Amino acid sequence: MLSAYEVVLPRWDGKYGKFKPFSKWTENKGLKWYQYYNGVMHDIHTNFRHANIKNLVEATCGLVVLLSAQFLNEDFSPDLGCLALEGSGDGMEPSVGSYFRVKYPIFDNDSRYDFIWQDIKDQQNIIQCHDYNSMIKDSYK
């Protein structure tokens, strides 16, 4: 449920400091920021007016939501090994890279992906790799 995620840009003043990039999906509507991004990417001359900071920030927040939904706040960087007891008090958590802050939704147990580790721990190749190179080759046929 990507529509439940909120993203905050710290130290951003004004009404555009908090984003719910996928909120329109709850109304079965398209995402304007994605339509603008896609339009600019495919035909910048016609759609250049949509290449603005607002759409850039909204698209970036959409990416932050996708990364947060997939990896929580793991950025796969070397761990510095420090322990800190502090917080911002805004009810949000740091996202990947720690600049953006995300309010993670709380899902009921029936909506969560789950598995029983004991049932799968001895299976070979439990994590399957996807050949992304084959997608590139197929897209140029």
| pLDDT tens digits along 67-93 | 999 888 776 665 666 666 666 677 788
pLDDT at 94: 77
User: Residues 102-134: pLDDT tens digits?
Assistant: 888 888 888 877 778 888 888 887 766 766 666
In the chain, where does DSSP find H-type helix? 32-42, 44-47, 53-71, 117-120, 132-139
The residue that leads in pLDDT, 130 or 94, is: 94
pTM of the entire predicted model: 0.60
Averaged pLDDT score across all residues of the chain: 81
Order of all β-strands in the sheet with 101-103:
18-19, 6-8, 101-103, 93-94
pLDDT digits (tens, 9 = 90+) for 21-71: 999 998 989 999 999 999 999 999 999 999 998 899 899 999 999 999 988
Helix (H/G/I), strand (E/B), else coil: 107: coil
Whole-number Å distance between alpha carbons of 91 and 101: 9
The residue type of 128 is: Q
Residue 4 pLDDT: 93
